[in-house]
Amino acid sequence: MFNYFANPTRFLRLTSKLQPFAMIVTLITMGAGLYYALFQSPPDYQQSETVRMMYVHVPAAWMAMFCYVTLAASSAVALIWRHMVADIVAKSTAPIGACFTFLALATGSLWGKPMWGTWWVWDARLTSVLILFFLYLGYMVLYNAFDEPTRGARAAAILAIVGVINVPIIKFSVEWWNTLHQPASVVKLDGPAIHPSMLTPLLLMAVGYTAFYFWVLFIRTRAELNANKVRALRIRQAEG
């Protein structure tokens, strides 16, 4: 399966086919999700209209974690099998993930002001998401901190793998510690504990975010692959 993708040309061909599809899914689900979120779903009896922040915040938080797992997994593949496409996927995922994390942090604190009366508290959930953000930053800085690009890629991959420990901490921090932040109500073992009128737009938005991720990922990986091709051509030219 991933030997199949090891071939950059094949990967390029595949992504160029999938890219418009990802774009369309993104536009449709995001549009529908936003419509439902803003106009169709009811205000919460406790949180009133501010609950609509959820449809931006929660999928962003999910994607932050999803992107990190993707980053770590593809880093591991790149490191162990020296898999070029995996490296490029990892490199392209990092900034997208960092943006989702930032979005989760920003919307979270915007939401926190009306709900908790403060922009920021040092509770376990919030702190561990902040660490996640620093891990993304560290990955990107480390990737570019070396003169030889391959050296940076491998150092950063090791960091990404080590940092994956943070993801379960984010996920379970609300259960392990007393936090202000509320515990999981959608992704639970005994099924979601949330009203369907809110669940629908939430899931639509989640699908939209995911498709958006793939859309951007495809664009970025293709750019990187083409840059690599140019570089390889130059080297071959030098070899004569």
- Give the integer Cα–Cα distance in Å for 122 and 136: 20
Q: How far is residue 162's CA from residue 10's CA, in Å, rounded to a whole number?
A: 31
Render 38-80 in DSSP notation, one character per residue: IIISPPBTTTBGGGGGHHHHHHHHHHHHHHHHHHHHHHHHHHH
Site for ligand HEM in 81-140 (CB under 6 A): 104-105, 108-109, 111-112, 115, 125-126, 129
Q: Looking only at residues 203 through 232 of this chain, which bind another protein when binding is defined by CB under 8 A?
A: 231
The answer to whether 151 contacts another protein (rule: CB under 8 A) is yes
Query: What is the C-alpha separation between 205 and 208, in angstroms, rounded?
Result: 5
| Greatest C-alpha distance within the chain | 73
User: How many other CB atoms are found less than 10 A from the CB of residue 29?
Assistant: 20
Least distance (Å) from another protein to the CB of residue 60?
A: 20
**Which residues 148-207 are close enough to bind ligand HEM by CB under 6 A?**
170-171, 181-182, 184-187
Among 16, 40, 118, 226, the residue binding another protein under the rule CB under 8 A is 118
Q: Which of 30, 159, 164, 219 binds another protein (CB under 8 A)?
A: 159
Interacting residue ranges for ligand HEM, rule: CB under 6 A: 54, 57-58, 61-62, 104-105, 108-109, 111-112, 115, 125-126, 129, 170-171, 181-182, 184-187
